[in-house]
Amino acid sequence: MKIGIIGSGNMGRALGVRLAAVGHDVMFGARRPEQSQAAVERVSGGAQAGSNDEAAAFGEVLVWTMREPDPAAVLANPALLDGKVVIEINNRDYANEARAGVWFEKAIAERLQDNAPAARVVKAFNTIAMESFDTTPEALRESSAQTFVAGGDGDAKAAVAKLAGDLGFQAVDVGSGPAAFRGVEALGDVIRIIMIDAGRGGRAHLSLNTLPEPNLQSVGAREASTYR
Ligand SMILES: NC(=O)c1ccc[n+]([C@@H]2O[C@H](COP(=O)([O-])OP(=O)(O)OC[C@H]3O[C@@H](n4cnc5c(N)ncnc54)[C@H](OP(=O)(O)O)[C@@H]3O)[C@@H](O)[C@H]2O)c1
């Protein structure tokens, strides 16, 4: 699949290098040509470097790696996102926002989708530290590594789940709409607090487990409640 990386910093480089390694056709975009070129040099099987607009034009699937949710602030031609699957991988700047008590009402993915209504925005990969992409897909599968995905377009989410699977991650569908986007963004806060503030480091990973079926004999069945 043709993949355009919009912004080739740490996450853009790591995702692009790994997607190329598992056989995808990748163009790294950046506002500084030396950054996209440096990413290409890490790909043994070949990839392309270009501007962010060139990468957006190239990819069937785009990876949006900057917190800026306004395509017009990043691309000369924001219409290049129309019809494309756009994987939004960002986390908010919790160090400066949450700790300072600032909280955007809308998630980055919501704001990107509002600004680019014809794009097929899927939130994914934000809970995974860039170092994890150094792990082989086989080892990630053995660890049952997961990524949480949210978005309103089922086919776009399926395409992202397939890409995640190629990299070794099982996709957990969190649903669609503002709550799903905000929830997955909040998981990014949780894992970074665990990694950084609680000192667990970049190998800490969030995944969903399903417990055995309860028989509820000890605690009783759930009763009608005021709360959800
Ligand atoms: N690093 C991780 O382990 C990790 C894991 C999960 C999620 N995330 C999230 O992923 C996002 C990117 O993180 P990162 O570590 O990759 O950061 P990074 O290394 O700083 O890369 C950010 C990229 O975005 C570009 N950029 C920023 N603002 C731009 C703008 N207005 N127009 C064009 N390009 C712009 C930067 O270009 P310049 O270099 O030219 O400024 C750079 O290529 C963040 O939201 C982060 O929270 C990171």
Span 170-194, pLDDT tens digits = 999 999 999 999 999 999 999 999 9
Dihedral sign for Cα atoms in the order 173, 175, 181, 186: negative
- Summarize the confidence of residues 114-141 as an average pLDDT: 97
CATH number at residue 21: 3.40.50.720
Residue 99 lies in a domain: yes
- pLDDT at residue 161 is higher than 80: yes
Residue 52 lies in a domain: yes
CA 199 to chain centre: 23
Residue 27 · residue 5 · CB < 8 Å:
yes
pTM of the entire predicted model? 0.96
Residue 162 Cβ contacting ligand 1 at under 6 Å: no
Residue 54 · residue 32 · CB < 8 Å:
no
Residue 135 Cβ contacting ligand 1 at under 6 Å: no
Residue 105 lies in a domain: yes
Q: Which domain holds residue 8?
A: 2-197
Q: List, edge to edge, every strand of the sheet that includes 25-29.
A: 48-50, 25-29, 2-6, 61-64, 85-88, 120-123, 146-150, 170-175
Residue 51 Cβ contacting ligand 1 at under 6 Å: no
Residue 204 lies in a domain: no
For the chain, percent helix, then strand, then coil, each to nearest 5? 40, 15, 45
pLDDT digits (tens, 9 = 90+) for 31-85: 999 999 999 999 999 999 999 999 999 999 999 999 999 999 999 999 999 999 9
Residue 212 lies in a domain: no
Q: Give the nearest ligand 1 atom to 132 CA.
A: 3
Residue 202 lies in a domain: no
Total structural domains within the chain: 1
93: pLDDT confidence band, cut at 50, 70 and 90?
confident
